[in-house]
């Protein structure tokens, strides 16, 4: 691998160190006040330096000249606000290395609190300082999910303890039902990513575990998950019993599986197949996509439920939030994972994104924010101006699909691979617009943190006719009380990371830093965050009521993407790795002779509709006899 991990980063040699005694002073400051620019210059006002009239004329002229230059560049800021209209400011010099270290400290605060109060538990409740298991012996939900984050951050001591727990305490031989999707993306994905990163000698020099320990654990888990795919159609059941490897239909939703969950297992299963040279995982995973595609969803937009036994969709509700989101994500990522050797997934992705642009893109009033709406009654029905925070993975996805992980400059000049054209320019423009909207979902709330769900004002103005657009996003975005909670979700910072890597526009780093500040300010538990960070009840209340739960993706995704956002671009470059939907990085690879795309799309007409063959008419028995005679 060509990326390297900086070795001059200080390690946390004492997991139990006391962060109250000044160790996190740089993170929170004396009053937990985190200015956007830590090194913002301050100057005294010029009135304090008035000169007497007897000064020589040339000195006065020189002073006026210097004053003019200082005014032009906006230096007279007093206590932070200029006394004169300030139209130009000197670009601040930001220490991104320092900001990256702040994210690492936040991770360690979270990890130390978990280790102290809930070690080995699947869930951590930082307010009450307790933990809970999801199944009797636990699954390592938090530990396994955070392994690769510790590797990326070069955290030797915590990783050694986590690795020891995985090797000696983690067992999947339990008579318990688990969610097929969540277990695949978090546990299987976390183990596979840890295996991948542990092979790089430039990473943290932890004591070597048993040979292929992570891979062996991953294979054991995958073998148990295979039973979920034993439905009549090949679409996996929502759950699976780990001990018996028996698939279990959903206990809700009429027994149907979530479309996104069924179609977000492929990166993990195919990478495992590549690692151990067994095709069974690959074939099981790709069969799911074939069955879903054979439904012939209009314009590539799939309903959010599918029956495992029949492989048919249930209902016609379409959304890119919960139950729909990562179906689209894994189309383009499967294409990228195998180094563009499976164009079938690019075709499906392009068709789906055309459908998104045709049916789901809407504009809010009065600021004309671009957002992705929902179709509760399917194509042809009314738009619902509702957008889950989950949808904020889409800015990054549009950008990733446009450049395939290259920077914009590289993609536009590429002679192989990316075919740059009007579509790619449009998708990149749409990515920028959606990214701004997702940021505003944070920016308009009292805490600076986004709600779980946002609703948009769809009152139509005249902005399409060229009139000036009123810039007040707080009028565009509506936060309903039941949707106002914040679960420490990663989708917005994930897209900020991708947008920064692809465009090089520093505004995305600045937005990420502002979001990180808001998390520090409002979700910290205990003095100096000594008890970690937690979810919130209402982002429009200050101080907000804290929910008693730290999500595992806070460590696995949110802090990881923030750390990568502030890191050099050669750390896990997007043209060499693909992240699963839980932010676990896998390497791109050649398919080789052993693997192939084992299916083809049914023929379609110009409208994208499946061309149905005329049924063969059964001849009457008397006609058959006459033909024989």
Give the residue numbers of the binding site for Ca(2+).
Answer: 581
Cα dihedral 427, 428, 433, 436 sign: positive
- In sequence order, the 6+-apart residues with CB closer than 8 A to the CB of 238 are 179, 180, 181, 248, 249, 250, 257, 258, 261, 308
Number of Cβ within 10 Å of residue 368's Cβ equals 16
| Catalytic residue check, 452 | yes
| Catalytic residue check, 325 | yes
| Catalytic residue check, 97 | no
Q: Residue positions in the annotated binding site?
A: 581
Is 402 exposed, middle or buried, given 0-12, 13-18 or 19+ CB atoms closer than 10 A?
buried
CA 204, CA 155: separation in Å to the nearest integer?
7
| Catalytic residue check, 167 | no
Please give the radius of gyration of the chain, using alpha carbons only, rounded to the nearest integer: 27
Among candidate residues 349, 233, 249, 269, the one with its CA nearest the CA of residue 301 = 349
Cα 384 versus chain centre, distance: 23
Coil vs helix vs strand at 89: coil
| Phi, psi (degrees; rounded to nearest 5) at 105 | -65, -40
Q: Which position among 101, 325, 342, 494 bears the catalytic label?
A: 325
DSSP annotation of 188 reads I
Residue 212, token pair as written in the block: 């292929």
Q: Which position among 160, 167, 182, 548 bears the catalytic label?
A: 182
| Phi, psi (degrees; rounded to nearest 5) at 124 | -125, 125
Residue 500, token pair as written in the block: 């920064």
Q: Is the peptide bond before 24 cis (omega within 30 degrees of 0)?
A: no
C-alpha distance from residue 349 to each of 194, 330, 345, 392, 571 (Å) = 29, 9, 6, 17, 27
Q: Which position among 329, 342, 452, 494 bears the catalytic label?
A: 452
CA atoms within 13 A on the CB side of 356: 26
Q: Which position among 491, 494, 551, 582 bears the catalytic label?
A: 491
Query: How are beta strands 361-363 and 370-372 bridged, if at all?
Result: antiparallel
Active site residues: 182, 325, 452, 491
């Amino acid at each position: 691998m060509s990326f390297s991990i900086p070795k001059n980063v200080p390690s946390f040699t004492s997991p139990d160190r006391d962060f109250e005694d000044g160790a996190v002073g740089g993170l929170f400051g004396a009053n937990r006040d985190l200015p956007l620019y830590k090194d913002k210059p301050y100057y005294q006002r010029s009135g304090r330096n008035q000169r007497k009239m007897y000064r020589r004329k040339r000195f006065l002229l020189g002073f006026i000249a210097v004053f003019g230059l200082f005014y032009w560049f906006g230096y007279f800021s007093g206590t932070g606000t200029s006394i004169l209209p300030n139209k130009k400011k000197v670009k601040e010099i930001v220490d991104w290395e320092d900001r990256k270290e702040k994210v690492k400290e936040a991770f360690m605060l979270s990890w130390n609190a978990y280790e102290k109060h809930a070690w080995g538990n699947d869930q951590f409740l930082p307010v009450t300082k307790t933990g809970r298991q999801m199944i009797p012996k636990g699954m390592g939900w938090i530990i396994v999910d955070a392994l690769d984050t510790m590797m990326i951050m070069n955290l030797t001591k915590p990783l050694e303890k986590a690795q020891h727990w995985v090797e000696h305490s983690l067992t999947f031989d339990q008579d318990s039902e688990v969610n097929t999707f969540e277990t695949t993306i978090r546990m299987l994905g976390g183990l596979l990513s840890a295996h991948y990163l542990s092979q790089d000698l430039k990473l943290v020099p932890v004591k070597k575990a048993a040979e292929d320990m992570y891979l062996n654990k991953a294979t054991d888990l995958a073998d148990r998950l295979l039973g979920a795919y034993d439905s009549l159609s090949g679409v996996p059941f929502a759950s699976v019993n780990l001990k018996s490897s028996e698939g279990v239909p959903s206990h809700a939703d009429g027994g149907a599986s979530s479309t996104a969950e069924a179609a977000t297992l492929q990166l993990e299963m195919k990478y495992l197949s590549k690692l151990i040279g067994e095709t069974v995982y690959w074939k099981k995973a790709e069969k799911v996509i074939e069955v879903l595609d054979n439904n012939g969803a209009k314009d590539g937009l799939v309903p959010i439920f599918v029956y495992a036994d029949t492989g048919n969709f249930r209902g016609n509700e379409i959304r890119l939030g919960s139950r729909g989101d990562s179906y689209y994500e894994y189309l383009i990522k499967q294409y990228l994972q195998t180094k563009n050797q499976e164009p079938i997934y690019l075709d499906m992705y392009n068709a789906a994104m055309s459908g998104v642009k045709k049916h789901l893109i809407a504009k809010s009033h009065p600021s004309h924010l671009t957002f992705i709406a929902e179709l509760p009654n399917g194509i042809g029905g009314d738009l619902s101006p509702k957008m889950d925070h989950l949808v904020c993975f889409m800015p990054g996805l549009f950008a990733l699909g446009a450049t395939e992980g290259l920077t914009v400059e590289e993609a536009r000049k590429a002679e192989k691979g990316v075919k740059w054209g009007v579509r790619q320019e449009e998708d990149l423009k749409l990515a920028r617009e959606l990214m701004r909207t997702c940021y505003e979902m944070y920016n308009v709330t009292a805490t600076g943190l986004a709600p779980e769900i946002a609703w948009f004002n769809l009152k139509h103005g005249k902005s399409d006719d060229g009139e000036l657009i009123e810039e007040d996003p707080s009028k565009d975005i509506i936060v309903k009380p039941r949707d106002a909670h914040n679960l420490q979700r990663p989708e917005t910072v994930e897209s900020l990371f991708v947008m920064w890597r692809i465009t090089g526009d520093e505004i995305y780093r600045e937005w990420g830093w502002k979001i990180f500040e808001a998390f520090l300010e409002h979700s910290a538990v205990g003095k100096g965050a000594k008890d970690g960070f937690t979810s919130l009840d209402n982002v429009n209340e200050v101080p907000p009521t804290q929910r008693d739960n730290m999500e595992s993706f806070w460590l696995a995704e949110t802090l990881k993407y923030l750390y990568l956002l502030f890191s050099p671009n050669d750390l896990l470059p997007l043209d060499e790795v693909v992240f699963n939907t839980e932010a676990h990085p896998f390497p791109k690879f050649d398919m080789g002779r052993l693997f192939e795309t084992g299916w083809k799309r049914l023929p379609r007409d110009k409208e994208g509709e499946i061309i149905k063959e005329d049924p063969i008419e059964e001849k009457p028995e008397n006609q058959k006899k006459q033909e024989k005679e």
